Structure 1
Amino acid sequence: MAAYDDIIANIPISDLAGRLGVDEATARQAVDEALPALLGGMGANAQDPAGAASLERAVQQHPPSLFAGGVNLDEVDADDGDKIVHNVFGANTDRVVQTLGSQGKADTGLIAKLLPILAPIVLSFLAGQFAKGQAKSAPQADASSGSEGSGGGIGDLLGGLLGGGGSGAAGGGIGDLLGGLLGGSGSGGNGGSGGGLGDLLGGLLGGGKR
Structure 2
Amino acid sequence: MSAVDDILGALPAEQISAQVGASPDEVRTAAAAVLPALLGGLQANAGDPAGAGSILQALGQHDDDLLTGGAELSAIDEQDGSAIAGHIFGDQQDEVVNRLGGLPAMGGGSGMGGALVRKLLPILAPMVLSWLANRVLRGGAGGGAGGAGGAGGATAPRADTSPSLPGGSGTAGGPGGLDDLLRDVLGGATAGPGGPASGGGTGSGGTASGGAPGGIDAGSIIGDLLGGILGGGRR
TM-score range, shorter chain: 0.7 to 0.9
Q: Does 1:171 align with 2:193?
A: yes
Equivalent residue, structure 1, for 2:182: 154
1:111 matches 2:117:
yes
Alignment identity in percent? 41
Instruction: Tell me if 1:129 matches 2:135.
Output: yes
Segments of 5+ residues of structure 2 without an aligned counterpart are 107-112, 140-148, 160-170, 199-216
Rounded Cα–Cα distance in structure 1 between residues aligned with 2:30 and 2:115: 11
* Mapping 1:187-206, distance limit 5 Å: 198=224, 200-205=225-230
- Tell me how far 1:137 sits from its aligned partner: 7.5
- Give per-residue Cα distances to partners, 1:141-168, cap 9 Å, x unaligned: 9998x724853432122122223xxxxx
* Matched AA of 1:127: A
Residue 174 of structure 1: how far off its partner (Å): 2.1
1:3–1:143 distance in 2 versus 1, CA, 3 Å: closer
CA distance in 1, matches of 2:135, 2:30: 24
* Residues 14 and 94 of structure 1, relative CA distance in 2, 3 Å threshold: same
Report deviation, 1:115. 0.8
AA at the equivalent of 1:68: T
CA distance in 2, matches of 1:175, 1:148: 30
1:167 maps to which residue?
A: none
Q: CA, structure 1 residues 25+52, in 2 after alignment: closer, same or farther (shift >3 Å)? A: same
- Give the match for residue 182 of structure 1: 222
Does the 8 A contact of 1:90 with 1:208 survive in 2?
no
- Could you give the per-residue CA deviations for residues 32-88 of structure 1, whole angstroms, max 9, x where no partner exists? 111111111111111111111111111111021322221010111111100000110
CA distance in 2, matches of 1:171, 1:138: 21
TM-score (norm: length of structure 1): 0.77
Within 2, Cα distance between the matches of 1:31 and 1:139? 31
Quote the residue 2:8 is aligned against: 8
Give the unaligned 5+ runs of structure 1: 164-169, 184-197
Deviations 1:72-123 (A, max 9, x none): 1011111110000011001101111111112343311110000110000110
The count of residues paired between Structure 1 and Structure 2 equals 188
Matched-pair contact (CA < 8 Å) for 1:45–1:208 = yes
In the other structure, the counterpart of 2:40 is 40
Q: Which amino acid aligns with 1:14?
A: E
Quick one: distance in 1 between partners of 2:138 and 2:231? Answer: 26
What is the rounded CA distance, in whole Å, between the counterparts of 1:143 and 1:70 in structure 2?
24
Q: Which protein has greater RCO, CA pairs closer than 8 Å, 6+ apart?
A: 2
Aligned alpha-carbon RMSD (Å): 2.9
Q: TM-score, normalised by structure 2?
A: 0.69
Q: After the TM superposition, which of the residue ranges 135-144 and 61-70 deviates more from structure 2?
A: 135-144
